[in-house]
Structure formats: C-alpha cells, structure tokens
C-alpha cells in the first residue's frame, strides 16, 4: 500500500482523494438541502462577495449544454461517467503524487455532480460569487458547489504537475 519511504503510492493517494471528495461533497449537499434548508433561508450573506443560495444547474459549467429533458439528462450523465472513467484510468497510471491527487479530486468531484444528476436530474449548487458596484449594481459571477471546488483544485494540481514535478523528476542530462 505504500511506496518508497512509507509514502502512499500515487494510485492509493488518488483513490483516497476521489473517495473523500465524493463523500464530503455529498454530505455537504445533503446537509445544505435537508438540515440547513438553504432553499428556505436563501440568500444568506457570508461575506462581501459570497452568498449561500440554492441553485439547480441542469447543464454543465455555467449551465452549458443545459439538459431540460430526460434524454438530455441521461446523455449528460453518460458523458460525465465516460469522462470520469477516462480520468480514472489516467489517475490509476499517474506516476507522481500531484497528478494522482489532482485527478482524484477531479474524479471525486465529477462523481459527486454525476450523482446529483442521477438522483435529482440537476446539480445542486450553493456558493454564489458576486461583486456589488455602484454603477451596475450586483454582478453575479458563478454559483458552484464543493465538487466544483475540488475539480478546480485538481486542475491546479495537474498544472503544477505538468510544470514542476515532471521536470524535477528528469535526470540532469535531460533538463
């Protein structure tokens, strides 16, 4: 289960990240929907640029490819699961910790959102970023959930891996 020096192998690290991301995302969504009851309380001001709201996203990022029909919903679910499977294979083969961890976050986040699409037909989002201006009033930017945060963190780790980790792992003669 562990690699050199007692450190978990990248494969194990990725699997743990995916499982924890899925678990935390779904626990947070269940709490927001059923315990905190965000739909009845919204909007809840958290800070000058962040509110808690209840938004159901029928599509993917920024509601692109919005799926309002059952066929569209199942097509998006199939697309998400296919992409997640491909990312899972990549994670399984990742040679470095940063790539495996990043892919684990992406896989866990994608599965969390895919589960929402299966269970509810849409993805539950809660965090609203906005800017309040004198000239234009409130400008809403994006509504997202913890799965989305994990996906973005995963992409950042993949960028880190592609920029720094692989270069550091090369022998000096190749650099």
Catalytic residue numbers read: 125, 148
SS3 assignment, position 135: coil
Alpha helices for the chain (secondary structure H): 10-30, 38-41, 70-93, 97-120, 146-160, 166-169
With CA atoms as reference, report the closest residue to 91 among 26, 9, 3, 6. Answer: 9
Buried b (16+ CB within 10 A) or exposed e, 94-112: bebbbbbbbbbbbbbbbbb
Q: Give dist(CA 64, CA 59) in Å, integer.
A: 5
**Conformational region of residue 65, where left means phi above 0, alpha means psi within -120 to 50, and beta covers everything else:** left
């Amino acid at each position: 289960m562990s690699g050199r020096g007692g450190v978990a192998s990248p494969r194990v690290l990725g699997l743990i990240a995916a499982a924890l991301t899925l678990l935390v995302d779904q626990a947070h969504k269940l709490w927001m929907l059923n315990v905190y009851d965000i739909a009845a309380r919204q909007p809840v001001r958290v800070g000058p640029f962040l509110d808690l709201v209840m938004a159901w996203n029928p599509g993917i990022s920024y509601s692109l490819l919005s799926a309002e029909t059952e066929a569209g919903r199942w097509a998006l679910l199939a697309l998400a699961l296919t992409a997640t499977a491909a990312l899972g294979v990549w994670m399984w083969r990742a040679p470095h910790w940063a790539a495996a961890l990043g892919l684990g976050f992406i896989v866990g986040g994608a599965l969390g959102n895919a589960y929402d699409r299966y269970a509810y037909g849409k993805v539950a989002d809660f965090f609203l970023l906005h800017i309040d201006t004198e000239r234009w009033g409130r400008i809403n930017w994006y509504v997202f959930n913890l799965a989305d945060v994990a996906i973005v963190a995963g992409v950042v780790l993949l960028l880190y891996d592609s920029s720094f980790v692989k270069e550091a792992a090369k022998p000096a003669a190749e650099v």
